[in-house]
Amino acid sequence: AEGTTRISGIANQHVKECDRIAAMTAELSKLGVTARNLPDGIEIDGAGSASALLSRLSRSDGEPDAKRAKKETGASMECYDDHRVAMSFAVLGSVCGLTLLDQACVGKTYPEFWDDISRLGVDVAGVATTERASRREASVVLIGMRAVGKTTLGE
């Protein structure tokens, strides 16, 4: 798109499975897209047409845009263990080719997502959660009434 897109009134997206606005801002920057994290939303500067974005991301090797779109840009996108972030980047990957780190996170809400999107002709590479487990520590959340020993158990 041309110009700047501003999405506002979505402050709640800062406190979902991850800070989705910060995630989008950080990951889009890997593609050379300028995005600003705002208290109540996000602003994204347009890259022009899809072919303009592709020409910035891909080698200029004389291939038609349609073929170049199927190539990977080399960008690896973090999904932050958030199914909506992963699915959003899968759609973007249909245009410019991406590697999604942690494709398995979509399983909690839409286990058939990768099968369904591949039926549309989208091929998105990814790394399964189990391959990445050594990169981060596991979290444990203790839920219960007050004064039942959650802190003691947690220690």
Q: What is the pLDDT of residues 25-50, one digit of tens each?
A: 999 998 888 999 999 999 999 877 66
CA 135 to chain centre: 18
pLDDT above 70: residue 6: yes
**Three-state SS for 153?**
helix
Query: Who has greater pLDDT, 16 or 147?
Result: 16
pLDDT in tens, 128-150: 544 444 445 556 666 777 777 76
The residue among 12 and 149 whose pLDDT is bigger is 12
pTM over cut 0.75? no
Contact 103, 128 (CB under 8 A): yes
Q: Are 86 and 103 in contact (CB under 8 A)?
A: yes
- Is pLDDT at 15 greater than 70 in this prediction? yes
**Three-class secondary structure assignment of 41-66:** EEEEECCCCHHHHHHHHCCCCCCCHH
Mean pLDDT in the chain?
A: 78
Closest listed residue to residue 102, CA positions, set 73, 69, 125, 72: 125
